[in-house]
């Protein structure tokens, strides 16, 4: 049994001239009728959890979704779960789910870049591919998988890299883990990429020992600009519990921002250092004023193999569960 949980997003939308653009229109049953091809995958059931754009999913709703998926996964009734949602925040939602859900059953996230009103609507293919991945025995133990345009990505590495193209997702820090070809699921090397359960990057809640009960922590995400004087960093400090700085290159910031970063650390609030570069990680090599080496010596934490938004979600999870970043 595959559980199909629909939350909305572009895959459920069509163009409405009176509204001046795309709006939600199709529930799960309507999407299945339009898509076709699901019956060959096997038995399934439908849940219309929501029909909203992804940008309407805040921390509370994301945690409600996480809890719903946890309950379904632990019920023992399903072999896999497919979640359709808007693509705008899959980078955050897939990371959250992969970082906190038990790997009871595979959770496959998909959606669409085009609506049913558009030529080349990619929703039907993505939905059928996602169901095939969820139903495949090889996917057991893989956790959360993002499926788009025939490619499979681990949930914690999937990133939206194109604003409009159907081939919108990649994994700059890891690469794809497989693909779907003519309905068949193929993992790289002919088998799934298993994660070492002792790896700190692969913890599930049972291994972490302190599972969050929600996402109450407030974490600011501030991008550095040329000549930054730290004023935005200071504005956020009184209202937020932690900070992710989007730095230049391998983790460098303008010298004017250093005192503001130091004030965050002096307040006992964690500062994570990410890079605005799509590929590569913060590497503390430079010891000049504002260099990444200086900031790490002050107490800033390199983001590791995470985009800025993923680093922010990791810090939200960590603070909400009383853990250190990435632990």
Catalytic member of 7, 10, 115, 307: 10
Q: For residues 21 and 199, what is the distance between their CA atoms, to the nearest angstrom?
A: 45
Residues in the chain: 327
Edge-to-edge strands of the sheet including 271-275?
A: 219-223, 242-247, 271-275, 301-302
Q: Using the structure block, give the residue that is written with the tokens 């993002």.
A: 146
Dihedral (CA of 115, 107, 242, 216) sign: positive
Give the contacts of 153 (CB within 8 A, at least 6 positions apart). Answer: 145, 146, 147, 169, 170, 171, 174, 176, 177
- The answer to whether residue 198 is catalytic is no
Q: For residues 101 and 95, what is the distance between their CA atoms, to the nearest angstrom?
A: 10
> Taking every pair of C-alpha atoms in the chain, what is the biggest distance, in angstroms?
61
Strand partners, 275: 247
Q: For residues 107 and 62, what is the distance between their CA atoms, to the nearest angstrom?
A: 15
Q: How far is CA 67 from the centre of its chain?
A: 16
Residues belonging to the active site:
10
């Amino acid at each position: 049994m595959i559980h199909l949980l629909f939350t909305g997003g572009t895959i459920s939308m069509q163009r409405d001239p009176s509204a001046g653009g795309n709006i939600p229109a199709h529930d799960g049953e309507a999407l299945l009728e339009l898509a076709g091809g699901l019956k060959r995958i096997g038995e399934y059931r439908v849940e219309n959890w929501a029909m909203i754009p992804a940008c309407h999913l805040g921390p509370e709703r994301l945690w409600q979704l996480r809890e719903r998926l946890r309950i379904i996964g632990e019920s023992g009734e399903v072999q896999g779960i497919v979640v359709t949602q808007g693509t705008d925040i899959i980078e955050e939602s897939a990371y959250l789910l992969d970082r906190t859900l038990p790997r009871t059953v595979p959770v496959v996230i998909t959606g669409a870049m085009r609506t049913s009103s558009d030529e080349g609507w990619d929703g039907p293919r993505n939905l059928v591919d996602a169901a095939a991945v969820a139903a495949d025995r090889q996917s057991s133990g893989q956790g959360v998988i993002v499926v788009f345009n025939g490619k499979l990505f681990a949930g914690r590495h999937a990133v939206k890299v194109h604003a409009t193209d159907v081939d919108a997702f990649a994994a700059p820090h890891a690469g794809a883990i497989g693909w779907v070809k003519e309905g068949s699921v193929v993992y790289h090397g002919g088998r799934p990429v298993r994660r070492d359960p002792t790896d700190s990057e692969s913890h599930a809640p049972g291994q972490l020992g302190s599972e969050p009960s929600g996402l109450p922590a407030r974490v600011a995400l501030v991008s550095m600009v040329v000549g930054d004087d730290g004023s935005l960093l200071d504005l956020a400090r009184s209202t937020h519990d932690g900070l992710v700085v989007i730095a230049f290159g391998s983790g460098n910031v303008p010298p004017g921002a250093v005192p503001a970063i130091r004030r965050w650390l002096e307040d006992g609030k964690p500062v994570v250092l990410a890079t605005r570069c799509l590929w590569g990680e913060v590497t503390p090599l430079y010891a000049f004023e504002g260099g990444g080496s200086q900031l790490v010596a002050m107490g800033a934490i390199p983001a590791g193999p995470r985009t800025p938004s993923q680093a922010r979600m990791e810090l939200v999870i960590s603070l909400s569960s009383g853990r250190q970043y990435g632990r």
